[in-house]
């Protein structure tokens, strides 16, 4: 039908406040996550339209990591650059890779 999803979404990423502030100010670029618990591997993880879930993640990160000042980074995300596991084509790609 079409090769990419049209449109933009708002995404939220839970992190340490200083990380959020450094990214917003341009002091530091956002780095892809490379943690053992990243079930889809290296990349950027955002909660679609869910600020509360991102804040919960920052307040209760997996493993023994704890943030001194949990915060949320918001972003406008172009869907054509995202892996959509609701699409059979991409779900099969992940399943068999």
Span 19-66, pLDDT tens digits: 999 999 999 999 998 887 777 778 889 999 999 999 999 999 887 789
Sheet (strand 47-48) strand order: 47-48, 8-16, 70-78
Instruction: Compute the half-sphere exposure of residue 19: CA atoms within 13 Å on the CB side of its CA.
Output: 17
**Residues 68-96: pLDDT tens digits?**
999 999 999 988 877 777 778 777 777 65
The per-residue pLDDT for 26 is 97
Q: Residue 72 has which token pair?
A: 């949320």
**Contact assessment for residue 11 and residue 46, using Cβ atoms and an 8 Å cutoff:** yes
Residue 45 has φ and ψ, to the nearest 5°, of -110, 125
């Amino acid at each position: 039908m079409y090769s990419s999803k049209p449109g933009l979404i708002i995404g939220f990423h839970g992190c340490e406040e200083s990380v959020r502030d450094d990214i917003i100010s341009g002091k530091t670029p956002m780095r892809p996550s490379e943690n053992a618990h990243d079930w889809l591997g290296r990349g950027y993880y955002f909660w679609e339209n869910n600020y509360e879930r991102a804040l919960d993640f920052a307040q209760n990160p997996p493993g023994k990591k704890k943030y001194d000042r949990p915060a949320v980074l918001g972003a406008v995300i172009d869907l054509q650059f995202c892996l959509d596991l609701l699409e059979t084509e991409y779900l099969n790609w992940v399943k068999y890779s």
